[in-house]
Amino acid sequence: MNINVKNLRKKFNNFIAVNDINFNLDKNKTLGLLGPNGCGKTTSIGMMLGLITPTSGKVLIDNKDINEVNREDLLSRMNFASPYIELPKKLTVGQNLEVYGRLYGVKNLKDRISEISEDLDLNNFLDKKTGELSSGQKNRVSLAKSLINKPEVLFLDEPTASLDPDIGDFVRNYIETYKTKNNITILLASHNMNEVERLCDTVIMMKKGKIVDRGTCKDIVNRHGRDNLEDTFLKIARSGNEMA
């Protein structure tokens, strides 16, 4: 699945959250979406998921406008994980995976739950209520939910936020391996520059709703004359000038 974002813009009252952005999310690639808080990353993801109606511009899925393709068919091929949205806390992990498996129409659901529980090491707490889990456990459950339907496109919003280095590394490893094994397309919004450098093929830098730079991590770092992506991020975030 290829996703093309064309002249996408979102205005909330007098505030322009996303300002005429263009980019391609190529099949089987991982694109990083970087930028300071409030730069329009979540709004952009929301528009790509069909949760937010753009003020203008288009999101094309395999060259078809998102509004012209069957919404349910499209959503069954995507998924999303974010630490800012949660699964019902009073349901057990197993029940949550079963509910979402059914909503996504997953075939052989029991097998799929066993498989993903094994992969993400959830077996010890499948019968535990989701609200009783630690941050790291919740994060893995959220990731399991986002992969339950074997999505072709996965949107990840800060997948390792608030995780300790060990669990964070486990999640990054898992995403990396899963992507290689299943050839999926990933859009990753993150503030962890090491994570972005490790996982992303290309990166988009956003600031105040606009794309201010793009390319591979190495290209961007070189272009700004910095040693690493973190310093580059800081330079872009603190500069007053927009760069393209």
Partner 1 sequence: MRWHKIYGLSLRHIYLIRNSFPRILDLIYWPSVQVFLWGFISEFFTINSSYYNNTVGVILTAAILYDFLFRSSISYNMMFLEEIWSRNFTNLFIAPIKISEIIAALTMTAIFRTLIGLVPAVLVAIPLFGVSIFKLGIPLIFLLIALYIFGITLGLLVTAGLLRFGPSFENIAWASLFFLAPLGCIYYPIEILPNFLQIIAKALPLVHIFEEMRNILINQTVNVIEISRSILISIVYFVLGVIVFYTSYYGAKKKGTLINIGE
Least CB distance to partner 1 at residue 213 (A): 25
Contacts of 121 (CB under 8 A, 6+ apart): 140, 170
DSSP-derived pairing of the beta strands 185-189 and 30-34 = parallel
Nearer to partner 1, 12 or 162 (CB): 12
Smallest gap from residue 201 Cβ to partner 1 (A): 24
Q: Name which of 70 and 241 has its Cβ closer to partner 1.
A: 70
H-state helical runs in the chain: 41-48, 71-75, 93-103, 109-119, 135-147, 165-182, 193-199, 217-223, 229-238
Q: Which spans of this chain sit near partner 1 (rule: CB under 8 A)?
A: 10, 12, 17, 42-43, 46, 49-53, 71-76, 78-80, 82, 84-92, 95, 98-105, 129, 145
Of 110 and 235, the one with the shorter C-beta distance to partner 1 is 110
Other C-beta atoms lying within 10 Å of the C-beta of residue 70: 8
Q: What is the dihedral of CA 187, 125, 76, 211, to 10 degrees?
A: -20
- Tokens read off for 153: 């496109």
Shortest distance, position 42 Cβ to partner 1, whole Å:
7
Q: How far apart are the first and last CA of the chain?
A: 27
- Burial class of residue 240, CB neighbours in 10 A (0-12, 13-18, 19+): exposed
When the beta carbons of 1 and 243 are compared against partner 1, the nearer one is 1
Tokens of residue 28, six digits: 């089987």
Q: How many CB atoms sit inside 10 A of residue 76's CB?
A: 16
Residue closer to partner 1 by CB (options 85, 242) is 85
Whose Cβ is closer to partner 1: residue 51's or residue 118's?
A: 51
Token reading at 196: 């972005």
For partner 1, the closer of residues 140 and 145 by Cβ is 145
Residues 188 and 143: their CA atoms lie apart, in Å, by 13
